Structure 1
Amino acid sequence: MRISLKALLIGLSLLLTMARALAESDLPQKPVWMSDDVVKNLVALELSEEQQVVFRQALSTCLTDIQANVHKITKRGGFDLERKLTRANKKTWRAFENTMLRVLNEDQKAGFERYLAVQISTITIRLKDNVPLHSIRSN
């Protein structure tokens, strides 16, 4: 059985295209809350191992609570949802900040304030017609 060179080249190019598409789909998506500026400011903090453990737990709790706030407030509906979200999330961010300020040394506190400002602006939830424009989830 003889395969033409043209058919072989078409088959190989199709195979390579499919392989590239599969490889790109397997790459993990970067969460919305992890922008390049957030990562840069976080790395600049130079957290110790103990501080990293506290940071991960506190940030996880904070993001989970923000997601719960969005769900709860949009489910209830009503007027001025953005104001309600801003108010609820301000309390959540304040709890995260207080947790971290207890474990940071004086040299790290100014860097943490910069990180926190960038982090908050990165995941600000904006509503249009009572529907969240994006979720803080990565998928």
Structure 2
Amino acid sequence: MSPHRLRVLVIDDVQCVRSVITAAIHAYFEDEIEVETAVNLEQAMAFDPLTFDLVFVDLLLPGNRSGLEFLYFLRRKNLTTPFVIMTGFTSDQIYERLDSDTPIGLFEILIKPFGIEKIHDLVLNLVNLPALCD
């Protein structure tokens, strides 16, 4: 096991989405990555944001909230954590929703439905995994 166990946060109100992403990460990376989940922004914001190496977040969340709010929350704290925004919308529709006044940093858009191999590819591309890639 690597000295630093990577941590991923998955924020989605749909339990099966959280479960599929968690299972895919564990299947590909075994015990090298710890996954935490949250159903909504309130649960997500209760975690220490400094502890995550990657965040998967649904665009539309309960309470008329947006996953982009969590992205902006982290960026206002000057955190550069990579983000995956999950949605059924097109990429163009996501870019239309972005706040041009807030630097967003590194992020990817994951269009639903998606396969588990896409989860693997995103984790490898967004997080430095030298011990896992050798």
Say yes or no: TM over 0.5: no
Higher strand proportion: 2
Query: What TM-score bracket applies, with the shorter chain setting the length?
Result: under 0.3
Higher relative contact order (CA 8 A, sep 6+): 1
Task: Calculate the TM-score normalised by the size of structure 2.
Answer: 0.24
**TM-score, normalised via structure 1 length:** 0.24
Higher helix share: 1
